[in-house]
Structure 1
Amino acid sequence: MDNPALSTELGIVVMLCILAASLWIPYIVGVNKHPQTNADSFARPPSLEGFPEWVHRAHRAHLNLLEQLLPFAILVLIVDRLDAYSTVTLWTAIAFFWLRVAHAAGMITGAARMPVRPLLFTAGWLCCLIMAGAAWKG
């Protein structure tokens, strides 16, 4: 049975999935560290208004990662299927991963303020476009 090695691009998608699967942790820590009164969190999660700002930002960081991970991962899978990997796709995947780590860390800590946070998100979007271009040419 043939067992091909995982490409760097697919390996990065795996790491991004682990990041996305773990990014709920800061939010849950914050929610449990600052419980809200008169809220049945089982029936409906409490409004983010009663929590410290970093808890809200942790929630947004998770959602922002999911917004970009899905299209990026699909594009990498298409590039893989077309065997269209190149130096450009390699460095685009690496850049995308570190942009998403910086975005999540900056968002949760509050360090990535205007204009850094939207620039990080936009750079991730550009990585998606570059990967789409590789798929299109593939």
Structure 2
Amino acid sequence: MGTAVPVELKLLLAAVIIGLVQIVWAAAAGSGGQRDFAWLAGPRDEARPVSGTAARLDRALRNFLETFPLFAAALIACVVTQKLGTLTLYGAGLYVIGRALYVPLYASGVALVRTIVWTVSIVGLVMVIVAFFR
């Protein structure tokens, strides 16, 4: 048997799954109306905006794509340098839980709680970064 996989790497893959779910959810919500199948299957040369829930899901996805590379780089740096511990475990957990909760809150239009949850995910990311420099 191989060595045990650190929980932090499992959380990294959980974040990848969250990203995939967001991609599919945003694409599904953005179909219909002006974004019919022909447009979705084509080159999409002309922009066709969405509104409401679809627009919120699109913005949530863009937000995820801004933070995920930072989280992944910080966590992988900690794994490679063997700086895993309480900070990385709880930090990665906060990031993943925050990101998982952020999307449905944003899609539902819940503003203040969504911002608090986003902040929790960023605190988790910062915890991982701090762990690297300890």
Same fold by TM (over 0.5)?
yes
Q: Could you report, residue by residue, the CA deviation over 1:98-136 in whole angstroms, capped at 9, with x for unpaired residues?
A: 1001101111122x21x2222222222221111111001
1:56 to partner: Cα distance: 0.2
Correspondence 1:26-105 to 2 at 5 A: 26-36=25-35, 40=39, 42-44=43-45, 46-48=47-49, 51-105=50-104
- Matching residue of 1:127: 124
Structure-1 separation of matches of 2:35 and 2:73: 38
Q: Does the CA contact (< 8 Å) of 2:106 and 2:114 recur in 1? A: yes
Query: How many residues matched?
Result: 131
> What is the TM-score of this pair, normalised by structure 2?
0.85
What is aligned with 2:13?
A: 14
Distance 1:43 1:129, change over 3 A: same
Structure 1: which 5+ runs fail to align? none
TM-score with structure 1 setting the length? 0.83
| Contact 1:103–1:120 (Cα < 8 Å) also in 2 | yes
Q: Aligned Cα RMSD in Å?
A: 2.1
For 2:75 and 2:68, how far apart are their aligned partners in 1? 10
Stretches of 4+ aligned residues off by more than 4 angstroms: none
